[in-house]
Each structure stands twice: as structure tokens, then as C-alpha cells.
Amino acid sequence: MLYKIGPYTATNKIFEAVCREVCRYYSGKENIKTYKRKFKWTGKYLNCTIAFNTAHWNTSGRAVCFDPGAVMYSNDITGMERKGLLKDLRFKYRSIFNVYEIDQTMFYEIIAYIDEMLDCVRTFDSYDGFKRLMEEHLRSFECVGLDANGRIFLDKIKSSELN
């Protein structure tokens, strides 16, 4: 991270430093490939991209937004719309962190939040897990028009798991 953060430290430098450290933490972990502001997990049926976003309201000396969000895609996009997009995954509780005064405790809170997203995605990387997701969150699939992709995905993994 940055060793010295002051009131004149550019917010983009703080944000980039946090992105770099989070990616460094996940670098070399199983099925994960890191990039500058995101990393990608690849499962048996799913891909998940966890990207780090920030806000336009960042203020030097006061606030730097760090907002990790996960998006799930099918590994096999044949017949699917929107490049196999299945679900934008956000948790209702704390997803935006003010990393202006980040310390080791906050860093590990961010890691715990991201780990929880990854654990959640791993549970959906099966027929039963994804079917449960669609049933429990039917409205979110309808709202963003992902129900067709979800049904195609379920059919593909069901036939794959039966073989």
C-alpha cells in the first residue's frame, strides 16, 4: 500500500494501491487470474469477474471509495445473449469501503468480503446450486432479462452432470 497518505495524496493513487494489494493477495490462488483492477475466477461451469470500482465523489484527505462487485458468466456461451452473462452479484450489507485511511484490519475486511463472494459463486458452480439461486432470486433474473441465459445454463450443466 502507500506508506504515507496525506491530505494531498491523489485519490486515484490510493485506489490504485488498494487494487494492487488486493490483486497481489489473490495472485497465484487456485483458478484465479489477476489484472490491474479486477481478477477472474474460473470454475467448472462458471467464470466470475470481481472488479474494483470507485466513485466520482472521492475527496482528497477525506474519502476514497472501493467497491468490489462480482459478475458471473457461463463458461460455454453457445446460444446465450449478452456474452453468457448470468448474474451481477452484490451483497446487501457493506460493499463500499472508504479506503482513505485503510489499515490492515480494513484490508482483511475487504478480503473477507471478497472471499464471501467467491464462496457464494463456488456454490453456484453446480446444477443444484445454480437452480437454487434462480429459484430464490427469481425476480433479479427477470428484472435484468437473464432468465433465458439461466435456463440455457441449467440445461447445459444438468446434461453435463448426468454424463
Is residue 41 pLDDT above 90, yes or no? yes
pTM score of the predicted model: 0.84
- Asked if 123 and 41 count as a contact pair (C-beta separation under 8 A), the reply is no
- Asked if 98 and 64 count as a contact pair (C-beta separation under 8 A), the reply is yes
pLDDT tens column, 13-25? 999 999 999 999 9
* pLDDT score recorded for residue 88: 72
**Mean model confidence pLDDT for the chain:** 84
C-alpha–C-alpha distance, residues 20 and 34, integer Å: 10
Work out the average pLDDT over 52-62. Answer: 89
- Among residues of the chain, what percentage have pLDDT more than 90? 40
C-alpha–C-alpha distance, residues 153 and 149, integer Å: 6
